Amino acid sequence: MSSSAEPANLMEAVVSLAKRRGFVFQSSEIYGGLNGFFDYGPLGVELKKNIRDCWWNDMVRRRDDVVGVETSIIMHPKVWQASGHVDGFTDPLVDCKASKNRYRADQLFFSPVVVDGNVVGYVSALESERTTEELQAAAEQFKRKKAIQGTLAPVQPRDMTEAKPEEIPQIPSPATGEPGSLTPPRAFNMMFETYVGALRDASSVSYLRPETAQGMFVDFKNVVDTGRVKLPFGIAQTGKSFRNEITPRNFIFRSREFEQMEMEFFIHEDDDWAKWHRYWIDWCKDWLLSIGLPASHLSEYDHLKEKLAFYSKGTTDIMFKFPFGVQELWGIAARGNYDLGQHEKASGVPQAIFDEATKKKFIPHVIEPAVGLDRIFLAVLTAGYAEEQVTDEKGNTETRTVLRLSPRIAPVKVAVLPLLKNKEALTTRAKELYKKLQRRYAVFYDEAGAIGRRYRRQDEIGTPWCVTIDFDTIEKDGTFTLRERDSMQQKRITEAELFALLDEQVY
Ligand code: GAP
């Protein structure tokens, strides 16, 4: 028997499990860590690789119209001038001169405190699920502290990008609680700069890429000339991107070094971009379901037309219900022919292709599904984590922690457990099966401790199946006990059936 409940602080529980079981560590931890950087441990690296491999197989290998590339992280600096990143890849930054803290202006909220229709002061709060409640509580406290009589109006939250110049000196810093130290927002470029070669001057400045996408645009002609591709077709890659985020936060959700999985899908200029845009939104959602994310956690957000870049035809984000709120997981943008057009202008190399039907040359348009691998990693951990009260046949109740990961991405697919450690016939057969499975799958051999405890260890890391080698295996019919993680049901299974099950579920 079991009953499942989300822990009071799901995010804390997931971060703790990630550290405890070797999924994710803080980077450079023994030196106090480096904010916005993370390491993936033995189980984390497997989970991440499995998500990446699933994406690559489904996006590239199993499609006839998408090919892959791997482009360099440091590219010619002119790439980033042409793409607009050198001038425009900025977030609005607010400094607190008193505490030296820095805030993203669109994540720092404030409100006037209005009593009987008069503004009597200002309150501020950092963006969270409860920003409005926090501002209201701060306004009530402000009124009480200053002993102001009258009726307090509900707060009207705005972020610092919307503050009028005369309001800024009156807004308190979240660090000190006092007004007067916040600066007006200014544009902060998020590109990491470096130098290429032995000279360290303006001529050798280069950048760590802030997105993988430009690699596909810059290699577009190479792929067309060598790849036997025909419109519509896509170019995909996975790889590291770097952004000097002002406020990295929520664990691996927003970090300064992260991995992206992006695909540029090129279409004819006369093709129906909205149809392809919709196609890729649906494809991405279906793919997220195929790696086990629950449909209940997914939604769509269409960017407001007036906030889009001038060349953009439309952007839809697939949103995910994280423990800290509903946030962007995957952006699907219709970017017209802006990127190839920019590179044609800046490099002088024509990017147009010839259309046999119309005998015309044109620059293809693009639909771009772009997702962060680390974000999907966090989504599967937070959606899959559960603490269950389980009662055994003797009536004893205990809490089991279980990670409900899809067999497609689980870091360990099967744990092989001999019933007893000190019975050589059992361990020999178990090791034989373990070695055989290991040729194709990530498997784990465990002979230490009571069988129930061994199951729990596997539940916590998301292993979908445990097979136990017992006396029936060696003395009777050769079958094993297969124990399923989510239902905890057990049944007898032959070796051939076990391989068939894995073949069907792990792809
Ligand atoms: N080429 C388009 C592009 O890069 P983006 O919305 O800036 O678009 C795409 O990034 C995806 O990359 C996001 O939806 C998110 O999943 C992921 N991502 C962006 N910034 C990130 C960060 N600082 N940390 C982790 N993932 C990030």
The per-residue pLDDT for range 23-59, each reduced to its tens digit, is 999 999 999 999 999 999 999 999 999 999 999 999 9
Q: Of ligand 1's atoms, which has the minimum distance to the CA of residue 212? A: 1
Q: What is the distance between the alpha carbons of residues 375 and 21, in angstroms, rounded to a whole number?
A: 19
Q: What is the distance between the alpha carbons of residues 492 and 507, in angstroms, rounded to a whole number?
A: 24
Q: Where are the extended beta strands (E) located within 96-173?
A: 102-104, 108-115, 118-126, 158-159
Residue 305 is given by DSSP the state G
Q: What is the distance between the alpha carbons of residues 157 and 232, in angstroms, rounded to a whole number?
A: 45
**Amino acid identity of 465?**
W
**What pLDDT sits at residue 143?**
97
Listed in sequence order, the residues at least 6 apart from 507 whose beta carbon sits closer than 8 Å to its beta carbon are: 57, 408
The per-residue pLDDT for range 415-438, each reduced to its tens digit, is 999 999 999 999 999 999 999 999
Out of 40, 83, 258, give the residue to mutate to test ligand 1, the one with the largest number of ligand atoms within 8 Å of its CB: 258
Measure 327 CA to ligand 1 centroid, in angstroms.
12
Bridge partners, 390 (sequence order)? 2, 398
**What pLDDT sits at residue 472?**
94
At residue 309 the predicted structure's pLDDT band, cuts being 50, 70 and 90, is confident
- Evaluate whether 353 touches 261 at the Cβ level (below 8 Å): no
For ligand 1, atom 25, the nearest C-alpha belongs to 254
The per-residue pLDDT for range 378-418, each reduced to its tens digit, is 999 999 999 999 987 788 899 999 999 999 999 999 999 99
Rounded to an integer, the average pLDDT of 193-203 is 94
Sequence-ordered alpha helix ranges (H) in 439-470:
451-461
Q: What is the distance between the alpha carbons of residues 128 and 299, in angstroms, rounded to a whole number?
A: 19
Backbone φ and ψ for 494, nearest 5 degrees, come out as -85, 170
The three-point CA angle 352-354-355 to 5° equals: 125
pLDDT at 288 over 80: yes
The per-residue pLDDT for range 101-130, each reduced to its tens digit, is 999 999 999 999 999 999 999 999 999 889
Q: What is the distance between the alpha carbons of residues 323 and 10, in angstroms, rounded to a whole number?
A: 6
Backbone φ and ψ for 56, nearest 5 degrees, come out as -65, -45
| % of the chain beyond a pLDDT of 70 | 99
- Evaluate whether 108 touches 159 at the Cβ level (below 8 Å): yes
Q: What is the distance between the alpha carbons of residues 368 and 339, in angstroms, rounded to a whole number?
A: 11
Q: What is the distance between the alpha carbons of residues 166 and 254, in angstroms, rounded to a whole number?
A: 32
For ligand 1, atom 17, the nearest C-alpha belongs to 372
Listed in sequence order, the residues at least 6 apart from 394 whose beta carbon sits closer than 8 Å to its beta carbon are: none
Measure 372 CA to ligand 1 centroid, in angstroms.
5
User: Average per-residue pLDDT in the chain?
Assistant: 96
For ligand 1, atom 6, the nearest C-alpha belongs to 331
Residue length of the chain: 507
Sequence-ordered alpha helix ranges (H) in 291-423:
338-347, 373-384
DSSP 3-state of 216: helix
Q: What is the distance between the alpha carbons of residues 422 and 349, in angstroms, rounded to a whole number?
A: 71
Instruction: Please state whether 261 falls in left (phi above 0), alpha (psi between -120 and 50) or beta.
Output: beta
| % of the chain beyond a pLDDT of 90 | 94
Q: Which of 137-141, 305-309, 346-350, 429-433 has the lowest mean pLDDT?
A: 305-309
Residue of 273, 260, 151 lying closest to 211 (CA atoms): 260
Give the burial string for 221-243 (b: 16+ CB within 10 Å, else e).
Answer: bebbeeeebebbbbbbbbbebbb
Dihedral angle computed from the Cα positions of residues 371, 377, 378 and 383, in that order, rounded to the nearest 10 degrees: 110
**What pLDDT sits at residue 3?**
67
pLDDT at 227 over 80: no
Q: Of ligand 1's atoms, which has the minimum distance to the CA of residue 245? A: 23
Rounded to an integer, the average pLDDT of 317-334 is 97
For ligand 1, atom 20, the nearest C-alpha belongs to 254
Dihedral angle computed from the Cα positions of residues 431, 432, 436 and 442, in that order, rounded to the nearest 10 degrees: -10
Backbone φ and ψ for 391, nearest 5 degrees, come out as -115, 125
pTM: 0.94
Measure 243 CA to ligand 1 centroid, in angstroms.
9
pLDDT at 296 over 60: yes
**What pLDDT sits at residue 2?**
60
Kindly list the protein residues whose Cβ atom lies closer than 6 A to any atom of ligand 1: 211, 213, 243, 245, 254-255, 258, 260, 262, 328-331, 368, 370-372, 374-375
Output 445-454 pairs: Cβ under 8 A, ≥24 positions apart: 445/415, 445/416, 445/417, 446/415, 446/416, 446/417, 447/417, 447/418, 447/421, 448/421, 451/417, 451/419, 452/392, 454/415, 454/417
Q: What is the distance between the alpha carbons of residues 206 and 389, in angstroms, rounded to a whole number?
A: 55
Instruction: Please state whether 116 falls in left (phi above 0), alpha (psi between -120 and 50) or beta.
Output: left
Measure 254 CA to ligand 1 centroid, in angstroms.
8
**What pLDDT sits at residue 8?**
78
Tokens 């230490």, residue located: 448
Q: What is the distance between the alpha carbons of residues 414 and 442, in angstroms, rounded to a whole number?
A: 7
**What pLDDT sits at residue 1?**
54
Measure 61 CA to ligand 1 centroid, in angstroms.
23
